[in-house]
A and B are shown apart, each in its own frame.
Chain A
Amino acid sequence: MRSRVLGVVTVAAVALFTLLPLTTTDPARAMGLPALLDRSQLRGLTTISMFVVLTSAWNIIGGLAGYPSFGNVAFFGLGAYATALLTDPDHGHLPLGVGLLASPLVPAVVALVVGFPLLRLRGHYFSIATLGTAIAFGEVINNMDFLGGATGLFPPIIRSDLLFYYLMFGAAALTVGVTWWIMRSRLGHGLVAIRENEEAAAVLGVDTTRYKIIAFVVAAALTGLAGGVFAGWNSFVNRDNVFPVDYSVQMILMAVIGGSGTISGPVVGAVGLEALIQLLAGGSGVYTQILLGVLLAVTVIFLPRGVIDFVIGRSRLTLAHFRRSLRQTSV
């Protein structure tokens, strides 16, 4: 019953987000449809899709495998730079499609290489080491002249908001689909076992090293894809816009608010929070950031299992529930 409802909701949401953008001012006029959205709203939807990718991809390594990476933004940046380098007229000068192909590959290879040492670390050590990796990658790239140094790279401008919306939305659908597939496969069961108790998983035969690396690489590839699409869309990348540490934390916050370790939680968290941010301040005001900080605190204290747990899990919207959950974690 419940899965039937979920299926209907999913299909309806996919249909809505596929068709609705056709009603943006220009394409709507061209096709004779009513104009329901303006361009900035479409761009808003594209950004929301981008955060769905980042959050759901983070969920694969952080939520399923239980390795809360604070450095996933590095993969976003690497993907963006890969696409930018291949398409920038002064460098690769290749078509966007080719550039996009590189965007998941480069971060995947990097994740494979850095994953071996990083995924041996646990807890705090893993989180901070990944945070450090992201900062270091941004810094090194910022210092590399052939990557444009601090100025950055400039992929050719392609004026089609609709194209980039569909690319980003496609990436989001792909990420959610991959998560869905993983959770049903042997891989997903192994990852959750690793999250719950890594040594117990190992003595039951789970190849923990391999599984953690796979999760990390898959997350990196999907995150990189979003970076690649962003590079084409924004037609300008540098450290400041594709390596912001804030993104790392934002994706974690979205996943946790929604409910990490589930399929729908990260989607709900990303859509809800990003929509809220856009409604409030267009995304970058000082007060929005303060609000994010407060939300982080509230989530961590009151909603450790995310809002989705009230729908599909065991949390109940009662005072007693909050009391019990608080008592479990406080002194």
Chain B
Amino acid sequence: MSAPLLALSAVTKRFGGVTALDHVSFDLAEGELVGLIGPNGAGKTTLLNCLSRLYRLDGGSIRFSGMDIAKLGRHEVARLGVGRTFQVVRPFRSMTARENVAIGALFGSDRARLPPREAFRVADEVIDLVGLGGRGHLLVDELTVPDRRHLEVARALATRPRLLLLDEVMAGLNPSEVAEALEVVKRIHASGIAILVIEHVMQVIVGICPRVVVLHFGKVLLEGDPSTVLKDPRVVEAYLGERYARRVRGSRGDG
């Protein structure tokens, strides 16, 4: 077997007293599709932030295609081929959808720097691919909530990544929108891009991920194929405990 595309070893991240990531290790191969699940606050988003070098690690290392991410700038990680979405979307609000996506195409890759005109052509392609076709001229504020999620994906995809990190891009979508989004993810994967997908919607994980990693309190609880993992008592408890906690919080009115 060749070296993995992404290799995490003992990744650790603390916020004051909270250890958000505690010796997290796993690999991801070129072109692989892996699900990352775990209850609220498990550390999933934090892990993504470490992967895209928005955070500095407090321990361990992350290697992407053989390079140590800690030694790179944020933009260099992106140009090396790590694309990501944000759980809370972060569009460029003064721009149209098309311009948003063009930024990804303009800056995303060192391999072939696109001139602006070319970048807009790529943007149009990607916009069609994620199902935003015909709405590229709209300002971000004029897009629906699901479309803003699509825009996040499109922007990341326009950087022509080798690894795409998706942070709950389907949360809050209705079933038919989820099905649509699933198709998009499958299409992206089919084009040879490796994907790490964070999702609470289990249907997604079971439906498309051959392998999942479960994070709980910042630790890797389990890793394996979804049907086995989701039946594991430890995973059930992690989630049930969470759901219970959520119910309590909900009844206090601040959930």
A and B touch in the complex (CB under 8 A): yes
Q: Does A100 sit at the interface, judged by CB under 8 A?
A: no
Q: Does B104 sit at the interface, judged by CB under 8 A?
A: yes
The A198-215 residues at the B interface (CB cut-off 8 A) are 199-209
Residue in chain B with minimal CB distance to A261? B94
A166 to B5 Cα, complex, angstroms: 60
Q: Does B84 sit at the interface, judged by CB under 8 A?
A: yes
A209 touches B73 (CB 8 A): yes
Query: What chain A residues lie within 8 Å of B103 (beta carbons)?
Result: 189-190, 193, 201, 204, 206
The verdict on A197 contacting B116 (CB below 8 Å), with A202-B74, A205-B159 known, is: no
B116 touches A205 (CB 8 A): no
The A169-213 residues at the B interface (CB cut-off 8 A) are 184-186, 189-190, 192-193, 195-197, 199-209
B74: contacting residue among A184, A192, A203, CB under 8 A: A203
The verdict on A204 contacting B104 (CB below 8 Å), with A185-B116, A186-B116, A209-B73 known, is: yes
Q: A-facing mask of B91-103, CB < 8 A → 1, else 0?
A: 1111100010011
The B64-116 residues at the A interface (CB cut-off 8 A) are 73-75, 77-79, 82-84, 86, 90-95, 99, 102-104, 106-109, 113, 115-116
**Nearest CB of chain B from residue A11's CB, rounded to whole Å:** 25
Q: Classify the secondary structure of A's interface with B.
A: helix
B52: contacting residue among A184, A197, A201, A203, CB under 8 A: A203
The A290-323 residues at the B interface (CB cut-off 8 A) are none
Query: What chain A residues lie within 8 Å of B108 (beta carbons)?
Result: 204-205
Q: Does B54 sit at the interface, judged by CB under 8 A?
A: yes
Number of A-B contacts (CB under 8 A): 80
Query: What chain B residues lie within 8 Å of A186 (beta carbons)?
Result: 106-107, 113, 115-116
Q: Does B44 sit at the interface, judged by CB under 8 A?
A: no
B94 touches A197 (CB 8 A): no
B102: contacting residue among A184, A189, A201, CB under 8 A: A189
The verdict on A204 contacting B73 (CB below 8 Å), with A186-B106, A189-B106, A196-B94 known, is: no
Query: What chain B residues lie within 8 Å of A208 (beta carbons)?
Result: 74-75
The verdict on A207 contacting B73 (CB below 8 Å), with A200-B86, A200-B90 known, is: yes
A193 to B52 Cα, complex, angstroms: 17
Q: B-facing mask of A73-95, CB < 8 A → 1, else 0?
A: 00000000000000000000000
The verdict on A204 contacting B78 (CB below 8 Å), with A186-B106, A189-B103 known, is: yes
B104 touches A205 (CB 8 A): yes
A190 touches B106 (CB 8 A): yes
Query: What chain A residues lie within 8 Å of B107 (beta carbons)?
Result: 186, 190, 193, 201, 204-206
For chain B, the bracket of interface size reads 20 to 34
A203 to B50 Cα, complex, angstroms: 12
A105 to B79 Cα, complex, angstroms: 32
Query: What chain A residues lie within 8 Å of B93 (beta carbons)?
Result: 196
A197 to B102 Cα, complex, angstroms: 15
A151 to B191 Cα, complex, angstroms: 70
**Nearest CB of chain B from residue A178's CB, rounded to whole Å:** 17
A199 touches B54 (CB 8 A): yes
B78 touches A205 (CB 8 A): yes
Q: Does B155 sit at the interface, judged by CB under 8 A?
A: yes
Query: What chain B residues lie within 8 Å of A201 (beta carbons)?
Result: 92, 103, 107
Query: What chain A residues lie within 8 Å of B116 (beta carbons)?
Result: 184-186, 189
Q: B-facing mask of A13-47, CB < 8 A → 1, else 0?
A: 00000000000000000000000000000000000
**Nearest CB of chain A from residue B102's CB, rounded to whole Å:** 7
Query: What chain A residues lie within 8 Å of B54 (beta carbons)?
Result: 199, 202-203
**Nearest CB of chain A from residue B46's CB, rounded to whole Å:** 14
The verdict on A197 contacting B91 (CB below 8 Å), with A202-B54, A203-B84 known, is: yes
Query: What chain B residues lie within 8 Å of A185 (beta carbons)?
Result: 116
A204 touches B109 (CB 8 A): no
Query: What chain B residues lie within 8 Å of A206 (beta carbons)?
Result: 75, 103, 107
Residue in chain B with minimal CB distance to A210? B75
**Nearest CB of chain A from residue B13's CB, rounded to whole Å:** 16
Residue in chain B with minimal CB distance to A66? B94
B94 touches A202 (CB 8 A): no
The verdict on A205 contacting B90 (CB below 8 Å), with A189-B103, A189-B106, A190-B106 known, is: no
Q: A-facing mask of B116-160, CB < 8 A → 1, else 0?
A: 100000000000000000000000000000000000000110010
A200 touches B92 (CB 8 A): yes
Most buried by B among A184, A192, A196: A196
A309 to B104 Cα, complex, angstroms: 27
Residue in chain A with minimal CB distance to B77? A203
**Nearest CB of chain A from residue B55's CB, rounded to whole Å:** 11
Residue in chain A with minimal CB distance to B73? A207
**Selected A-B contacts with CB under 8 Å, 8 pairs:** A189-B106, A193-B92, A200-B92, A201-B107, A202-B74, A202-B75, A204-B155, A205-B109
List the 9 closest A-B pairs by CB distance, nearest first. Answer: A205-B107, A196-B92, A202-B74, A205-B78, A200-B90, A205-B108, A207-B75, A197-B90, A205-B79
Residues of B within 8 A of A (CB): 52, 54, 73-75, 77-79, 82-84, 86, 90-95, 99, 102-104, 106-109, 113, 115-116, 155-156, 159
Could you list 5 further interchain pairs (A-B, Cβ under 8 angstroms) beyond the known A203-B156, A204-B155, A204-B159? A192-B94, A197-B92, A203-B78, A203-B82, A205-B159
